[in-house]
Structure 1
Amino acid sequence: MRLCLLGDSIAAGVGSTRREDTLGPLLADRLRQAGHEVDLDVRAVPGARSADLRAQVRATGAVDVAVIVIGANDLTRFVPAQVGAQQLHDAVADLRAKGAEVVVATAPDLSIVSHVPPALRDVVSAASRQYAQAQQQAVIRAGGVVAHVERAVTPRFATDPSLFAADRFHPSAAGYREIATALAPAVEAVADRRRV
């Protein structure tokens, strides 16, 4: 099972002090426990926006399952939702054309980040939801699968500071375990489809 992670710093594992506590190794371990032999390739780049996915996709070899985590940097740089969603659509479509199953974790709710002033949290939350919704529609149109990670992890991250790294923006090892647990059912489902 050739598993590839693409996207931004969360897909790359920024914030964790140990590689094995990042998304790629955690998801690979879950697939191994389900009986898959896994070859992991992490192409994600810290700071990446949806516009950077094209280069990441081009850099991949043969892939069975691709996991994309993208959107936070688009939000912080005010990329219009339809622009970023189209760029994500194209990346998913290109991966599907290569024969890969694609699972996408859309933009997180940035209102829970401590750097966001309380007076702006409602606005930031609404913008995050709008961006994620545009991404979801684009992913489905391109033939990918949306893992609704934000629904599962946002309440936990909002109430548990230990899920954040020291920079109070990226996940800690514990935060990555939460995200991997939320991602795993969709990743395992598409991996099982490949095995049939």
Structure 2
Amino acid sequence: MAEAPPPRGDGVYGPKFPGKPLSMVILGDSSAAGYGVHRPRETPGALLATGVSRRLRRPVRLHRLAVVGSMSSGLPYQVDAALEYEPEVAVILVGGNDVTHVSGRATAVRHLADSVRRLRSIGCKVVVGTCPDIGAIQPIKPPLRWLARRWSRQLAAAQTVAVVEAGGRSVSIGDLLGPAFEADPVRMFSSDRFHPSVEGYARAAAVMMPTLMAMLGEDDRAPATGADGVRSLPEAAHEAARAAGTEVSAVKVDGRERGPAGRWAQLRRHPWFGEPRLWFGHRAASFGGSPVPSVSGRSAAGAVGWTPADHQAAAD
């Protein structure tokens, strides 16, 4: 049942790889916790930790501190706990509950910005998945759907500006699941028709992986061209809020961080799950003599490896 608490998924991913585990934390609300899935390996944290471990060929120690139902006001407490683990990379997914609870946008953004600054102050790299488009969720009917979409985009744009100014990178989640829901609602959403399914979480994780890897020094993407490129940060934030899967990061132009309209920002649009770039299947490994399923581009099961719980079950 989707109402069951999500599995935690904490532990070491890629334990067969050499080296000290990379410390990774995931913060935020139910979208970060993985509400609606049944297995640890299906949670967003596990998907991302598995992908990072495979790409870096290095173990990753994951700590999930996200809380189901949390708003941005809950982030300071999650960061307090995260700092005890001395994280090297942090993923934050938050904003949906701020929209559904009609909390103050300025206050929500301030909590997020402060959280990013605190993590950056210890050298932790931070990527934030901005507020999803609540108006894309089918159980919400017009005219509330239209208002929810507007509020979601406004919050996502404000989050983007705050995150980049604080030293992090943002990736827009937007209506990532909206079109897919209409085509196959059973597949993309959990039984409550509000939270994502395993496939839905895999889609969100897939668009965040390129940014995560770029921050960790594994950026093999082609130079930004065409619709991608440099904008003022407010303009980039506005565009990203309307195009799911768009990364926004700080950039210098002629050696300067700011222009007439404020800080310069780089836009990059990432392929969605099912498009040619397959981040999770890269350098597939095997664990305990059992092969990890190769990613098909659609199956979330193929996008993840074994979790610490799986290793224990196999040992038993």
Q: TM-score range by the shorter chain?
A: over 0.9
Mapping of 1:92-171 within 5 angstroms?
Answer: 92-150=116-174, 152-157=176-181, 159-161=183-185, 162-171=187-196
In 2, Cα distance between the equivalents of 1:3 and 1:168?
30
Deviation at 1:28, TM superposition (A): 0.7
Counterpart for residue 36 of structure 1: 58
**Structure 2 residue matching 1:192: 3-state secondary structure:** coil
Deviation at 1:8, TM superposition (A): 0.4
In 2, Cα distance between the equivalents of 1:154 and 1:3?
29
- Of residues 187, 199, 208, the one that matches 1:174 is 199
Higher-helix-fraction structure: 1
Contiguous gaps of at least 5 residues in structure 2: 1-21, 219-316
Deviation at 1:79, TM superposition (A): 1.1
Give the alignment's TM-score, normalised by structure 1: 0.93
Q: Is the 8 A contact 2:177 2:188 kept in 1?
A: no
Q: Given the superposition, is the C-alpha separation of residues 115 and 152 from structure 1 closer, same or farther in structure 2, using an over 3 Å criterion? A: closer
Alignment coverage as a number of residue pairs:
193
In 2, Cα distance between the equivalents of 1:122 and 1:97?
38
Moved over 6 A (4+): none
1:186 maps to a residue whose letter is T
Q: Is the 8 A contact 1:107 1:132 kept in 2?
A: yes
Larger CA deviation: 146-155 vs 32-41: 146-155
CA deviation profile, 1:35-55 (whole Å, cap 9, x unmatched):
232111110000111110000
Deviation at 1:124, TM superposition (A): 1.4
Counterpart for residue 39 of structure 2: 18
Q: Is the 8 A contact 2:43 2:201 kept in 1?
A: yes
Deviation at 1:152, TM superposition (A): 4.5
Q: Given the superposition, is the C-alpha separation of residues 154 and 141 from structure 1 closer, same or farther in structure 2, using an over 3 Å criterion? A: farther
In 2, Cα distance between the equivalents of 1:152 and 1:3?
24
Give the alignment's TM-score, normalised by structure 2: 0.59
Kindly indicate whether structure 1 or structure 2 has the higher relative contact order, using CA contacts under 8 Å at least 6 residues apart. Answer: 1
Contiguous gaps of at least 5 residues in structure 1: none
